[in-house]
Structure 1
Amino acid sequence: MNTTHTTDPTDTTDPAIRRFDAICVIFNPHSTGNAPELAAQLREQLAQGLPYSPEIRMLPTAYAGHAVDLAREAAGTPNALVVSVSGDGGYHEVVNGVMAAGTTDAVCAVLPAGNANDHHRTTARQPLAQAIAEGQVRDMDLLRLTTENHPGAQAVHAHSYIGFGLTPVVAIDIDKGNKGAWKEAVSVVRTFARFRPFRIEHTDGTRAEIDSLVFANIAQMAKYATLSEAEDRPADGKFEVILSPHTAKWKVLLKAARAATTGLGDQPSVARYEFTALKPMPYQLDGEVRSVPSHTTVRIESAPSALTVIG
């Protein structure tokens, strides 16, 4: 439950004010962005600006997925703040590492670095160093994805959105090539021209061809697209479902333009959604691309107040 406080930030008697024993800053030292510099700046700001003296741990990642392990270990430290200096993908790993730690009093935060910062842009309330100094935390829902008929599959969490269909297909094609605005634009056009719809089966047995199916815990994604006008996200115990049945490509473009300008308007809000992928199907969790095999049952659930955050 989110609560707004106006108490004196130096008052440590207020249980809603957190004074951390350890602040663990996770970042990619080889980031193509400025993550190392931002991490160092945050360390200096905290060392000089906090009204107390926590242990500040700088935790550079060494390989892909390392942030999950670092966050899980950090969350095992009592009264810890785990900061991801990254974009949405890096924060995704940190959130899943904290969740994998099980019962923990760890708090999460993200300091935006990199290209994709949808989560920070739509949920941040104040500069991170200031938020840590004031110590006011709040709870946030997560999206939980589980799959059946998929050997070895485990539940995974998303802080912002899970998307099936066109969105991950475009992301896969972009990832194959070099980065760059022009080349990315060319990749999007090429992929869109080749795109074919996916078939899914709903729990009532009805089948549908879809261009995309997005489950959103935040109002916006991809920098400019407004997915829904629902309020109280991401802490209302529900998420929005944006389903786009297969249609003519010009209509898909029209919908994308509407999302980037006026927004898509109100969307259905649910606590659980389940379907079966009738063919292999890629999907994105906060920008991280994965896939499910054919005839796999996919379940998306809200995990209410699963994560405590600051910022």
Structure 2
Amino acid sequence: MNQEYIVDSARTFESIVIIFNPNSTGDAPELAEQLQRKLKELLSYEPEIVLQPTEHAGHAVDLAREAAAKGGDVLVVSVSGDGGYNEVVNGVMQAGNPKAVCAVRAAGNANDHSRIMATKPLEEAIAEGHVHNIDLLRIHTGQKENEPPEYAHSYIGFGLTPVVATELEKGSKGALKEMVTVIQTFSKFEPFGIRMADGKRRKFDSLVFANIHEMAKYATLSEADGHPSDGKFEVITFPHMPKWRVLLTALKATTQGLGDQPSVSSYEFTTLKPLPYQMDGEVKSVEADVKVTVECAPRALATLG
């Protein structure tokens, strides 16, 4: 992916808040403490560097919002996988602080965003302080006016994506067990129908909106020349087809990639039945007969690079 960004002048931070899950199955607590030590050694200035452990699911949203809402030049770091970073991004977006910056230190089972976007060790990026803005995906699933919008930093998926993710979350981690779970889930999977903006009904096995060109560690979704600050996202569709063809398409994604995919700035449809969806690893759901709008939030997130 082309990663040409408009970069601001080097920034320093008044405070750096490092958010992590102390009960992570990975090494998040150790990595968070390690990052704190390295920053104290590396930075030429002395910001307040705070470790903030989460206490429950969704707590990272609150912690990130509170950190950013204090105002000033604050950096909020998520030591996590894609799902944990999603919570931090949403919390910072809710705070509305234009000087707040987000970053992620990979420490989870799925680290698509960090793997694709990172160009150097995080502590070096923080020391250099080069901030740029990237697009986010914003989804509206019938929220009330006073409810905050939901954002994704990497992708939003309907169909196979959240169904497989839900089953993986129930089971044990590990490559072999994950593979068995995927096969079992796929064998029972049923397609889903939606009503398009033009009123026509269509049936899909998978519908993914992507701000990065890879997901699930191995799959190359798109060969598009765009980058995460071009005001558009890719739409990857698997229309309903025989399961053997879905398997061949998935195999192509992991070996050759799926090639060029259409890029849009917004996409609308209406659900016919309740549907699960996945945002950066976090599984949510939308009710039946709800108009769903996915749109690009141009250059909405300040991050390091």
After TM superposition, the score normalised by the length of structure 2 is: 0.95
Deviations 1:164-185 (A, max 9, x none): 0011111112222333333322
CA distance in 2, matches of 1:272, 1:144: 9
- Offset, 1:115: 1.0
- Offset, 1:306: 0.3
1:63 equivalent in structure 2: 56
CA distance in 1, matches of 2:144, 2:200: 22
Q: Is 2:13 the counterpart of 1:20?
A: yes
Equivalences for 1:14-163 in 2 at 5 Å? Answer: 16-77=9-70, 78-148=72-142, 154-163=148-157
Contact (CA 8 Å) 1:145, 1:301: kept in 2 or not? yes
Deviations 1:108-136 (A, max 9, x none): 00000011000011111111100111110
- Offset, 1:154: 4.8
Q: Aligned letter for 1:97?
A: G
Q: Aligned letter for 1:104?
A: P
Number of corresponding residues: 301
Q: Aligned letter for 2:211?
A: N
2:244 equivalent in structure 1: 250
RMSD: 1.6
Alignment CA distance shift 1:246-1:173 (3 Å): same
Other structure's SS at 2:257 match:
coil
1:169 to 163, 170, 173: 163
Deviations 1:125-152 (A, max 9, x none): 1111001111101001000000238898
- Offset, 1:52: 0.8
Alignment gaps of 5+ in structure 2: none
- Offset, 1:31: 0.9
- Offset, 1:161: 0.0
Q: Aligned letter for 2:131?
A: V
Contact (CA 8 Å) 2:36, 2:49: kept in 1 or not? yes
Contact (CA 8 Å) 1:217, 1:234: kept in 2 or not? yes
Q: What percent identity do the matched residue pairs reach?
A: 61
1:261 equivalent in structure 2: 255
Other structure's SS at 1:253 match:
helix
1:2 equivalent in structure 2: 5
- Offset, 1:63: 1.1
- Offset, 1:153: 6.4
1:186 to 176, 180, 184: 180
Other structure's SS at 1:69 match:
helix
Contact (CA 8 Å) 2:27, 2:107: kept in 1 or not? yes
Deviations 1:20-73 (A, max 9, x none): 010110011111100111111111110011111111011111111110000001
CA distance in 2, matches of 1:193, 1:154: 37
